[in-house]
Structure 1
């Protein structure tokens, strides 16, 4: 591509929260030039993730990722954020990788480059026409991060900037264990004191910390914090975290959440004092696990058919706070749609279905993350019951799953705003 003025690539804003859109613009190209726009991220696990798309510059020699059509690559069509949500491990990487931000003090750095021609490989072997670095943050400026080690509770508390007090959230991830902070950091960036709760370590599902008094103690740490409005504390759970959320909302006599968000969860497990019963349910039903043509494990049948025995599921008729269920039609890990239907029937029979809001999405899998996160159809997973590392099929197709992540996050924030803030409150900006 011969020209005298070099191309210019800009990414605006260069620094933003992960759920904010950016605009990628390439200028000073010859009119009608085929180019490839490429995104590259080097993860904290030292893996490389990439996305790319093929464009043709307009009569002014410009390509706008937000406004122009991609003709090929990891996504096609008009997709302003496709360079992020269609990211995948570079060729030759290990199978079953998952991209998650562990250190929320630092941004996710993404290098955006433009190359001459429509290419699909060899990006690191040829020089780009132009490049720009963008920072994607989970933690907005002024958000405070505090380690929690009190009353036996382990976690991290994120406090928004400003005088407060703020509504609060107890935030729980799923069965992979460990301490996941990035969603809580993002929630604090939107004005909520959020506790990222560690409720078992990887491979420790039988931990004593799974007694329900542990979750009640954690909830009260949020409620009693001086920066929290004590009667405006909710619970946010994904997968096993959503199971715990439903159980606490229905059964706890100690805590009364103002509202609950349950992503990809189930109400089907025996009631008891701790979650070792969940472990027993997996062991008892493990013969129902299927594998697909790639030898990926499918777990959604573990709780099917949905039982009619009330002692084997959360009594959703006892729910007294607004609850939002977010589910994918192609969840291959948990039978969430069947559970949602049963939850609806149980709450209708009890006369509390006015508290229930459901959103569900076609071709969407189990791992419904904050927006623009890459889609993971299947990843490696340590099975607590057998100590074996398998590849679990989570489900979903990249484009619709990514659309669902963006739409559901918008609905989740609106739900939290409605039930935890009495008046409109500005969110933190980069």
Structure 2
């Protein structure tokens, strides 16, 4: 005997089948699958779709599991994500999915069939974000206030759509809060003599292993990586050394003796919450060169290890000036330009023929991790990595070197799930002129590199700052 509920499906399938048999129109593929599968399915929504996210609140380097339930079987849906940056620019991504026979979509397991990314990508809804249509061009998504989270709204729409999301009906939505500071992490303004920065301390009494964190030629005080280091158990000083209102004039900061950076290291290591002798240097781009110079030239400090990202052993710091930003006109003959007009600076130091313009790598006496992409169009990081390897081999200290090169990866290798920027606007220090700079990389491999390199960096720091010295008090999440 067929129940009333079963009878409803019986008549629905009979009607669809008989209508198809008596007409010349083509059967909808999803209906055809239902008829051939022998599964009776209710096409009406008796329960509203639900979107689940775990966790809804977490650190920005944590992955999120998203599942949509109570959809129709084999239903086409669009997963749409958006956030409003601190610059008041909207960022967004979208992806097309098809629910399974039970009406579920599991983003971590199911494939996206189109949109901002394709394939099985658990975190694609964030790392594939681009500026929304109508936004200013060439902007970069960077967090300035690390005490507040990024708020990402994830919504589900019926059908496969690619625009006008605000005009479409939302079946379900959830807001994710993505934090840079774990609960209990402390943020302190750091002023010691000339040294300007922000100190982040993990939860707990300490003392903690520490990182002196140095960004590149863009300048300012960049805190988000240091905040994440502290959230993962390492005290971190985000150091300002270019374009900050509290810094002395550039020539005094870029002292040929590197005294500013020496002062910063000593001040950090002398802090009562820092484990003496357990301080690493982390530098990206220009910070890469500074870290090498500190380890090679400063005899009064002893970094435990170096992590150098997307930079070169070409010495930018001479006579108190940065060659790239102060004397760019002297190198215009080496500028190249992409089809869209973005400037490529990577050829300025090439070829590496003048030993006096290079960091003296034979003086490096601590472990060194180099991370770079083979499509870096901003600086010859890829070429430098192999040159450094050869020079250190000749010097007999290549046993200290670990090199990781990522394919189709550009210059801006940042913490996990940060959207990829192939080119953005950039402000030159000497003239305040805005130019478009080509960083390089392709979105999917670059994003994979960011996720993998962050894991390697944390493991490297733990191996050299913690595991070798188990007595160090390191807070863990």
Alignment TM-score > 0.5, same fold: yes
Task: Sort the Cα spacing of 1:34 and 1:278 in 2 relative to 1 into closer, same or farther, 3 A.
Answer: closer
Q: Look up the SS of the partner of 1:302 in the other structure.
A: coil
Instruction: Report the equivalent of 1:208.
Output: 252
Once residues 228 and 283 of structure 1 are traced to their aligned partners in structure 2, the CA distance between those partners, rounded to angstroms, is 43
Alignment of 1:243-322 (within 5 A): 243-269=289-315, 272=318, 274-277=320-323, 279=325, 282-307=328-353, 309-322=354-367
Verify: 1:178 aligned to 2:227, yes or no.
no
Report the Cα offset of residue 270 of structure 1: 6.1
The answer to whether the Cα contact below 8 Å between 2:208 and 2:474 also exists between their aligned partners in 1 is no
Displacement of 1:428: 4.0
The residue aligned with 2:461 is 416
Q: Residues 34 and 376 (structure 1 numbering): CA distance in 2 closer, same or farther, change over 3 Å?
A: same
Aligned residues: 428
Q: Is the 8 A contact 2:75 2:159 kept in 1?
A: yes
- Per mean C-alpha deviation after superposition, the further-off stretch among 67-76 and 211-220 is 211-220
Q: C-alpha displacement at 1:112, in angstroms?
A: 0.6
Deviation of the 1:279 alpha carbon: 4.2
SS in 1 for 2:392: helix
Indicate whether 1:337 and 2:382 are aligned: yes
Between the aligned partners of 1:428 and 1:128, the Cα distance in structure 2 is 39
CA distance 1:183–1:408, shift in 2 (3 Å) = same
Question: RMSD over aligned Cα, in angstroms?
Answer: 1.7
Matched with 1:153 is 195
Distance 1:16 1:233 in 2: 27
* Pairing 1:20–2:62 present: yes
Contact 1:155 1:195 in 2 (8 A): yes
Q: Give the deviation of 1:403 after TM superposition.
A: 0.4
Superposed CA deviations along residues 235-280 of structure 1, whole A, max 9, x for unmatched, are 0000001110111111112211100000001111266464445545
Structure 1: any 5+ residue segments left out of the alignment? none
Pick from 318, 322, 325 the counterpart of residue 370 of structure 2: 325
Structure 1 residue 344 displacement after superposition? 0.7
Q: Which residue of 2 aligns with 1:41?
A: 83
CA distance in 1, matches of 2:88, 2:314: 38
Cross-structure match for 1:351: 396
1:201 CA displacement: 0.7
Deviates more, 1:204-213 or 1:21-30: 204-213
Superposed displacement of residue 283, structure 1: 3.9
1:241 to 273, 277, 287: 287
Moved more, 199-208 or 247-256: 199-208
Query: Normalising by the residue count of structure 1, what TM-score does the alignment of the two structures yield?
Result: 0.96
Structure 1 equivalent of residue 15 of structure 2:
none
Secondary structure of the corresponding residue to residue 300 of structure 1: coil
Partner residue of 2:118? 76
Q: How far off is 1:338 after superposition?
A: 1.1
Mapped contact 1:269–1:281 kept (Cα < 8 A)? no
- Superimposed CA distance per residue, residues 355-386 of structure 1 (whole angstroms, 9 cap, x where no aligned partner): 00000111100000001000000000012244
Kept in 2, the 8 Å contact 1:146–1:158? The answer is yes
Matched-pair contact (CA < 8 Å) for 1:200–1:207: no
Aligned-residue offset at 1:202: 6.6
Partner-residue secondary structure (3-state), 2:348 = helix
Whether the 8 Å contact between 2:316 and 2:322 is mirrored in structure 1 is no
Instruction: Indicate yes or no: 2:104 matched with 1:65.
Output: no
The CA distance in 2 between the partners of 1:17 and 1:127, in whole Å, is 30
Bigger-Rg structure (1/2): 2
Per the TM alignment, residue 209 of structure 1 is displaced from its structure 2 partner at its CA by: 1.7
TM-score (norm 2): 0.87
Q: SS of the residue aligned with 2:347? A: helix
Whether the aligned pair in 2 keeps the contact of 1:170 and 1:194 (CA below 8 Å) is: yes
